[in-house]
Every structure is written in structure tokens, then in C-alpha cells.
Amino acid sequence: MARIVQKYGGTSVGSVERIQHVATRVEKAVLEGHELVVVVSAMGKSTDELVSLANQITDNPSKREMDMLLTTGEQVTISLLSMALQARGIEAISLTGWQAGMKTEASHGNARIEAIDNGRIEKELAQGKVVIVAGFQGLSPDGEITTLGRGGSDTTAVALAASLKASRCDIYTDVTGVFTTDPRFVKKARKLHSISYDEMLEMANLGAGVLHPRAVEFAKNYDVPLMVASSMEEVEGTLIEEEVTMEKNLIVRGIAFENDVTKVTVKGLPNRLNTLSSLFTTLSNHHVNVDIIIQNQVDEEHVNISFSITQSTLKETLNVLQAAQDELQFSDVTFEEELAKVSIIGSGMVSNPGVAAKMFDVLASNDIFVKMVSTSEIKVSVVVQEIDMVLAVEMLHEEFQLAEEVEELSVTV
């Protein structure tokens, strides 16, 4: 018998029929003798519908009241799933995030989990019950209901698995696992049997939407094996853990990409030691997140600094820079929109030089101009024209032979 945490996303519980299907999966695990904690999201698009209702009331709803509103979505799901299990003769109980002991920081809309009090869950498990927990929510030190932001249910599930010392955490979604790239864009994308935490974290951070980066961080920090699988199909998923089944000679394991990237260039900054610090501290103080950074020296006294941001933050970024122009002492700001970021990821890149050169050669041979570059030990990211994004992914996927099934061997990453 194992203690397992299962998580089902909004699509997986999007209707009564799908909730019954989830109940069948849970029932099977119970009959196999496992202890089950099940974390669920709100049904289908219900969170979007709640946001729409709020927007019909006011253009500027308070974050506290939005948390009060949005947490009701998960409460609907937990009660319905609990009823479905009880109707099958399986003892089950639904718990909100705060009933399940999820303690968060005092922040609305994007709170982080600070601690978990397992007492109630352990008590219910000891009585032989399946515990159904509302994802995405918790309670702050001052007794306020909070939400965990995007990917919050994934994070809830992994945090509970770590706290409860579960054997693993199964993330059930509408895809059959983690693919070499997004199969909606590249038909030859192949499902990976396994992937390391570090590789998955890079892929999540770089645009792969299968798991939220915060959930992968939790899993890595607490050594929680993750299984990403389909809630609709009975097929093997992708295992995410520290020790993985590496595919022999597969230097690049996956390709992530995202559009809506904008390049901002601040021109004529003074060439001083504190220029970078001053610029990015100013942006950080206004919660502007930047990604790739490039500095070019114009002459002995001036530099230009370029950085990438998401398209949605362009207006705010320009406003912040304009307000700080006298302080920062730059001459002008320009920006370029309709860009995309394409990234190759793989632990094998650490010990295999020349991967970046091959990437640039592939892009150049397909007339794809590289505007910005960022690297780490296990990834290379480039910013290209958005119109070239899919072609770049397809060509790189082919060049690094990611569509091919290859020999595997077990190693420790």
C-alpha cells in the first residue's frame, strides 16, 4: 500500500460525467489498497466565469474579495467528487484549503505556501477515508482566505505530497505526459518517458504549460516524484524525478517556446558601474519582470541596454522608464513587438560543447534572425520574430532528432 496524492485539473473535472470518470480512477486506486489524497481545481472554465461576474460589478474589484469569490470554484468540485465517491460506497470527505491546513503568506491573488498542518488530513486518512482537497487556496496568518495564483492547484498537490511524505504525486491533466515540444504545433513531438526536475523546471519557466514552475520547484526541493498523465486515457505518463531514465545520446530533451515577447532598448545610459543596478532596481521596484538582458557599449561614456519583457507589461514598463528618465540619465527608449522566445533544454548540454553553435546554424540556414540570446548550463534561448517561431521549433526538433525513439539507460542526473 502506498500513500499517493492525485491532482485533477479543471478540464478533468469539467462536467458531471468527467467527475464520475475521476471517481472511477480514485475508486480503482482505493481498491488497490492505496491511501489517497485528491486535489482538484475548479470545474472547466468556472474560474473565468467568476472573474467575468466580478468584472460586471466593478472594473477594480479588491483582491481580498476576488479571493473570496474565486475559492468557491474549487469548493464546488470537492463536494461533488466526494458525493460521487460516497455514492459508490467509498468513504470520502471534502476539505477546503484552510480545513486541510494550508497556511500561506498574507498576500491576495498570488500567495505562497508557508506551512501545512497535516493534523486534519492524517486524522481522516487514519479513518480510511479518501481526502478531497480544494487546490489553489489557503489561509493567511491573519485568518484571511488567499489564493495561490496560476498553477496553484499543482502547487497545492506537490506541497501536500511533500508534507504527507507521499510515495508520489500524480498530476492528471488533458495531455498524456510531457512532450519534446508542444504537439499542437509540431506533429512529430514525442512523449518523454521521464525527465529530470531541472529539465522540467527549465521547460516550465520557458513556456511549457504542462506544470507550473512553482510546483516543480516544490517537487525538486522535497524530492517528490511527479507523474504527469492523462485523466482521459489509460496510458503511461511522464515521470519527473531526480534519477531518471535518460535517453542515450539525446543531448537536447525538449524545446519550449512562447510568443508575446517584446524587446525594450534603453539608449544613451551613462557608462558607470551602477548603471545596470540602477536601471533594473527601478524596474523591480515597480514589479516589472525582465528576462534576457544585453548591454552594448556605444562609446566610452554611453551604453545601450536591451531586455525582453512580456507584451502585457510594455505600457507599464514605458511609464516607469519615462518617470525615471532624469534619474537614470538615458536619452531614449525604443521597443520591438511581435517577437517570440525559443529554447532548447537538456542536461546533456553540460558535457557536450557545440550545441549552441548547431542551434544558430539551423536558424541561420532557415533565414531566421536571432535578436537576443540567453544561456545556462542546460538551456539556450533565442528571441526571434514571432512569425518565425513555429518554423524555428520544427527545424530544431528535427535537427536534434527529438522525434526518434532511442536507446535508454538509467543514470543519475
pLDDT given at position 275: 94
pLDDT given at position 410: 36
Whether 221 and 307 share a structural domain: no
Residue 141 in any domain: the answer is yes
Which has the minimum average pLDDT: 228-242, 310-324, 375-389? Answer: 228-242
pLDDT band at 407 (very low <50, low <70, confident <90, very high): very low
- Please count the CA atoms within 13 angstroms of the CA of 202 that sit on its side-chain side: 25
CB-count burial class (<10 Å; 0-12, 13-18, 19+) for 52: exposed
Whether 270 and 181 share a structural domain: no
3-state secondary structure of 336: strand
pLDDT at 249 over 60: no
pLDDT given at position 347: 85
pLDDT at 259 over 50: yes
pLDDT band at 412 (very low <50, low <70, confident <90, very high): very low
Whether 255 and 225 share a structural domain: no
Other CB atoms within 10 Å distance of the CB of residue 369? 11
Percent of the chain exceeding pLDDT 90 equals: 83
Whether 165 and 261 share a structural domain: no
pLDDT band at 149 (very low <50, low <70, confident <90, very high): confident
Whether 29 and 150 share a structural domain: yes
Q: Could you give the C-alpha distances from 134 to 51, 75, 106, 231, in angstroms and in order?
A: 18, 6, 19, 18
- Range list of β-strands (E), 21-139: 35-40, 92-95, 102-104, 113-116, 130-134, 137-139
Which helix (H) or strand (E) element contains residue 373? strand 372-376
Number of domains observed in the structure of the chain? 2
Whether 42 and 116 share a structural domain: yes
Provide the mean pLDDT of the chain: 92
Residues 276-303, mean pLDDT to the nearest whole number: 93
Whether 286 and 191 share a structural domain: no
Whether 73 and 206 share a structural domain: yes
Q: How long is the chain?
A: 413
Query: Which residues sit opposite 77 in a β-bridge?
Result: none
**Residue 304: CATH number of its domain:** 3.30.2130.10
pLDDT given at position 212: 86
Look-up of cell digits 557599449: 297
- Quickly count helices (H) and strands (E) in the chain: 12, 20
Tell how far CA 159 is from the center of its chain: 15
Whether 148 and 272 share a structural domain: no
Q: Which domain holds residue 108?
A: 3-243
Which helix (H) or strand (E) element contains residue 341? strand 332-345
Residues 207-230, mean pLDDT to the nearest whole number: 89
pLDDT band at 409 (very low <50, low <70, confident <90, very high): very low
pLDDT given at position 232: 87
Residue 142 in any domain: the answer is yes
pLDDT band at 247 (very low <50, low <70, confident <90, very high): low
pLDDT at 405 over 90: no
pLDDT at 242 over 90: no
Residues 170-197, mean pLDDT to the nearest whole number: 91
Whether 40 and 90 share a structural domain: yes
Residue whose C-alpha is closest to residue 335's, from 261, 260, 264: 264
Residue 409 in any domain: the answer is no
pLDDT given at position 208: 75
Whether 128 and 86 share a structural domain: yes
pLDDT given at position 404: 76
Q: Report residue 174 as a C-alpha cell.
A: 488533458
**Residue 29: CATH number of its domain:** 3.40.1160.10
Q: Which residues contact 219 (CB under 8 A, 6 or more apart)?
A: 158, 161, 162, 169, 197, 225, 226, 240
How far apart are alpha carbons 316 and 373 in whole angstroms?
Answer: 24
Residue 108 in any domain: the answer is yes
Q: Which one of 188, 215, 243 terminates a domain?
A: 243
More confidently predicted of 184 and 413: 184
How far apart are alpha carbons 75 and 210 in whole angstroms?
Answer: 23
Residues 317-344, mean pLDDT to the nearest whole number: 96
Look-up of cell digits 531514465: 245
Its pTM stands at: 0.82
Residue 407 in any domain: the answer is no
Residue 25 in any domain: the answer is yes
Residue whose C-alpha is closest to residue 41's, from 17, 70, 1, 3: 70
Q: Which one of 243, 260, 284 terminates a domain?
A: 243
pLDDT given at position 244: 60
Which has the minimum average pLDDT: 140-144, 160-164, 239-243, 263-267? Answer: 239-243
Q: Which one of 184, 213, 243 terminates a domain?
A: 243
The per-residue pLDDT for range 19-78, each reduced to its tens digit, is: 999 999 999 999 999 999 999 999 999 999 999 999 999 999 999 999 999 999 999 999
Residue 411 in any domain: the answer is no
Residue 406 in any domain: the answer is no
Whether 87 and 19 share a structural domain: yes
pLDDT band at 243 (very low <50, low <70, confident <90, very high): low
Other CB atoms within 10 Å distance of the CB of residue 291? 18
Residues 131-153, mean pLDDT to the nearest whole number: 94
